[in-house]
C-alpha cells in the first residue's frame, strides 16, 4: 500500500522570526549634545590652525625686526641711548637748579648808599614750589636809613614779607640789623634767569 506524502519545499511559516522594531524618538538633549560636540571639534581645529598662522607671523616679524636692527649700527644706538640718559639727567638738574644772582641784582637796585650788608644766606626747601628764605645782616647810618630801606623792600614785587629785626646801635652810632624775607622760586629759577639774560 502506497502512502501519499505530500511534501512541499515551500515553507508555510517563515523560518526567521520577525521582530517588531519599535522606533524610539530622538531626544532634544541628544541633538544638542551632538551639535555641541561638532562645534567644539570645529572650534578646536580652527584654533589649532590659527595658532600655527600666528606663530608663523611672529617668526616672520622677528626676522624682519632683526634685519632692521642689523641695518643700524648697534654701537651708535648704544651711544645715543647713553646721550639720551645724560640729556634727561641734565634737564632734571636744570629744572631744580636755582640762580641767586637775581636776588643780588634786586638788592643792588634797591639798596641805599647809607646801608650795607655784612652777611647773606638763603634756605631752599626741597619742594620746587616752596619759597626761598633769605637771611641777611647789615649796617645802616641811623634808624631813618633802616626805615627808608624797609619801604624800598616793601615796594619790590620779588621780595615777599621783608622783616627788619634786632636793631641795635654800635659804638659809632650806626644801626646794626637783621633782615629776613622770602623770594618766589620763579624769580630765582635758573632756566628763567638764562632766558632773561639772552
Span 81-111, pLDDT tens digits: 999 999 998 888 777 777 788 888 888 888 9
Average pLDDT over residues 104-126: 87
Q: What integer pLDDT is reported at residue 9 of this predicted model?
A: 60
Residues 59-88 pLDDT 10s = 999 999 888 877 777 788 888 899 999 999
Q: What integer pLDDT is reported at residue 61 of this predicted model?
A: 94
What's the alpha-carbon Rg for the chain, to the nearest Å? 50
Q: Say if 183 falls within a structural domain.
A: yes
Domain harbouring 144, CATH code: 3.30.1360.100
Confidence of residue 51 (pLDDT cuts 50, 70, 90): very high
d(CA 165, CA 136): 10
pLDDT greater than 60 at residue 1: no
Domain that holds residue 156: 101-197
Q: What integer pLDDT is reported at residue 10 of this predicted model?
A: 61
pLDDT greater than 70 at residue 11: no
Task: Dihedral sign for Cα 99, 104, 106, 109, please.
Answer: negative
Q: Say if 105 falls within a structural domain.
A: yes
Q: Say if 59 falls within a structural domain.
A: no
Q: Say if 149 falls within a structural domain.
A: yes
In the chain the first and final C-alpha atoms are separated, in Å, by 155
pLDDT greater than 60 at residue 198: no
Confidence of residue 171 (pLDDT cuts 50, 70, 90): confident
Q: Percentage of the chain surpassing pLDDT 90? A: 30
Burial of 149 (0-12, 13-18, 19+ CB in 10 A): buried
Average pLDDT, the chain: 83
Domain count, the chain: 1
Q: Say if 117 falls within a structural domain.
A: yes
Q: What integer pLDDT is reported at residue 106 of this predicted model?
A: 87
**Strands, sheet with 159-169, edge to edge from the N-terminal-most edge strand:** 115-123, 132-140, 175-183, 159-169
pLDDT: is 184 or 116 the higher one? 116
pLDDT greater than 70 at residue 135: yes
Q: What integer pLDDT is reported at residue 190 of this predicted model?
A: 73
Q: What integer pLDDT is reported at residue 178 of this predicted model?
A: 93
Residue ranges in 20-142 assigned as alpha helix (H)? 28-71, 74-96, 101-110
Close Cβ partners of 150 (under 8 Å, ≥ 6 residues apart): 162, 164
Q: What integer pLDDT is reported at residue 7 of this predicted model?
A: 61
Q: Say if 78 falls within a structural domain.
A: no
C-alpha cell of residue 58: 611672529
Q: Say if 20 falls within a structural domain.
A: no
Instruction: Provide the whole-model pTM.
Output: 0.51
pLDDT: is 179 or 12 the higher one? 179
Amino acid at each position: 500500500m502506497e502512502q501519499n506524502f505530500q511534501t512541499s519545499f515551500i515553507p508555510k511559516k517563515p523560518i526567521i522570526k520577525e521582530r517588531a522594531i519599535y522606533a524610539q524618538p530622538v531626544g532634544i538633549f541628544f541633538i544638542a549634545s551632538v551639535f555641541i560636540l561638532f562645534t567644539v571639534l570645529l572650534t578646536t581645529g580652527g584654533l589649532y590652525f590659527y595658532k600655527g598662522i600666528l606663530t608663523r607671523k611672529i617668526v616672520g616679524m622677528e626676522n624682519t625686526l632683526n634685519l632692521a636692527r642689523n641695518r643700524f649700527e648697534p654701537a651708535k644706538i648704544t651711544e645715543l641711548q647713553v646721550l639720551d640718559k645724560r640729556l634727561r639727567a641734565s634737564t632734571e638738574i636744570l629744572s631744580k637748579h636755582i640762580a641767586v644772582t637775581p636776588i643780588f641784582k634786586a638788592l643792588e637796585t634797591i639798596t641805599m648808599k647809607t646801608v650795607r650788608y655784612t652777611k647773606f644766606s638763603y634756605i631752599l626747601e626741597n619742594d620746587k614750589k616752596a619759597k626761598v628764605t633769605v637771611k641777611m645782616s647789615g649796617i645802616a647810618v641811623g634808624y631813618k636809613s633802616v626805615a627808608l630801606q624797609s619801604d624800598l623792600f616793601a615796594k619790590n614785587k620779588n621780595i615777599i614779607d621783608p622783616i627788619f629785626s634786632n636793631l641795635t646801635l654800635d659804638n659809632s652810632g650806626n644801626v646794626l640789623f637783621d633782615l629776613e624775607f622770602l623770594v618766589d622760586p620763579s624769580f630765582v629759577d635758573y632756566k628763567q634767569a638764562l632766558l632773561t639774560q639772552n
